[in-house]
Structure 1
Amino acid sequence: MQRLNLELDAQLFELLERSAQANNLSLEEECLRRLGAGVRHSRYVQALVAELRADEKQRRDSEQVA
């Protein structure tokens, strides 16, 4: 099983937590639901994924230069 660690601000965490409760899901299940294929993505999760991708690209670019 792959593991994904996310750093979330308090507001986003609270929104995810409330959504999980409303959907009778665990926080992990709610995150997976939002990240799953064919599911309308949360704009917060989309922004987080975009930021993670940009960080990874920047890390790779800096490793190539070094």
Structure 2
Amino acid sequence: MSLMILEVDTQLYRLLQSAAARNHVSLEEECRRRLEGTEQRSPYLQALVAELRAEDEQRRAGSQ
């Protein structure tokens, strides 16, 4: 299992926590819901996901 560390803006983190509590889900579930598109997409989160995917593709290409 890989460990991933994300740096998230404090205000964004608090907003995600608040939304998770309002929706009665975990922070992870709230993030997944937003990333899957069932919630309005944040440009910040979209950029973060794109960056993570690119890094993952580079890592996979380097290990082959």
Give the TM-score of the pair, scaled to structure 1: 0.58
**Structure possessing the higher radius of gyration over alpha carbons:** 1
State yes or no: 1:57 paired with 2:57.
yes
What's the counterpart of residue 16 of structure 1?
16
Structure 2 CA distance for aligned equivalents of residues 6 and 42 of structure 1: 20
Superposed displacement of residue 25, structure 1: 2.1
Structure 2 CA distance for aligned equivalents of residues 47 and 34 of structure 1: 13
Structure 1 CA distance for aligned equivalents of residues 3 and 35 of structure 2: 12
Gap regions ≥5 residues in structure 2: none
Deviates more, 1:17-26 or 1:44-53: 17-26
- The aligned length equals 60
Local SS of the residue matching 1:49: helix
Gap regions ≥5 residues in structure 1: none
Superposed displacement of residue 28, structure 1: 1.8
Structure 1 CA distance for aligned equivalents of residues 18 and 41 of structure 2: 16
Give the TM-score of the pair, scaled to structure 2: 0.59
The two structures, once aligned, show a CA RMSD in angstroms of 2.8
